[in-house]
Amino acid sequence: MKKSTPTFVVGVGGSAGGLVAYKTLLDALPPDTGMAFVIISHMTPSASSQLAQILARHTKMAVVVASTAMPIRANHVYVIPPDADLSVEGYRFKIISPRSKRNVQIDIFLTSLAKAMGVRAVGIILSGFDGDGAEGCRQIKAYGGITFAQDASAEVEEMPLSAQASGCVDFVLPPEEIPRKLQKLADRLIRLSANSP
């Protein structure tokens, strides 16, 4: 496997209260996990997103706004642009703007991630209103990937609870504990890949 190819591509979805959770997650992540992280945050179409700059203060990984055909590399953090649907084809992003409708961007991304990455897809649902992300978790599980939801530490519990109610969440943890579990899962995947014929 090429060094720039991520072990996992991790879709991180959040809405209201999500910013605190993103920062906490990134603060706990080492800069050399071998994974790629994609932040799918609900924002108004007219927003001039400063999210990438804000998150860059919480990690040594490169943090960039995703763009069409941009390759997905290990040890990078990508942020969805405002007023767009973001999806994955191969190890590259595809963007459709304007977005199809509001508050479905996490499901759209995670569904495409599941189909593109299979067992290398990870979905994390953090604080937020509504149920975006639950269907994406179903898709990730259907394709053999792994899912997380934030525990009661979520400022707004609707999105994590909706994901859990789908029956398709593997781990319920506070954001600061997710990186340790992710690393164990990545190490296991690498071992399995090394031992397979």
Could you give the domains of the chain? 9-195 (3.40.50.180)
90: confidence class by pLDDT, cuts 50, 70, 90: confident
Cα distance between the two ends of the chain: 14
Q: Is the pLDDT of residue 69 over 50?
A: yes
What integer pLDDT is reported at residue 28 of this predicted model? 98
For the CA atoms of the chain, what is the radius of gyration?
Answer: 15
Mean pLDDT over each residue of the chain, to the nearest integer:
93
| Catalytic residue list | 15, 42, 132
Q: Is the pLDDT of residue 70 over 80?
A: yes
Q: Is the pLDDT of residue 46 over 90?
A: no
What integer pLDDT is reported at residue 2 of this predicted model? 46
Q: By percentage, how much of the chain surpasses pLDDT 70?
A: 95
- Are residues 60 and 20 in contact, defined by beta-carbon separation less than 8 angstroms? no
Distances in Å between the Cα of 56 and the Cα atoms of 30, 76, 79, 170, 175 are 13, 10, 11, 28, 17
- Of 5-14, 30-39, 43-52, 142-151, minimum mean pLDDT range: 43-52
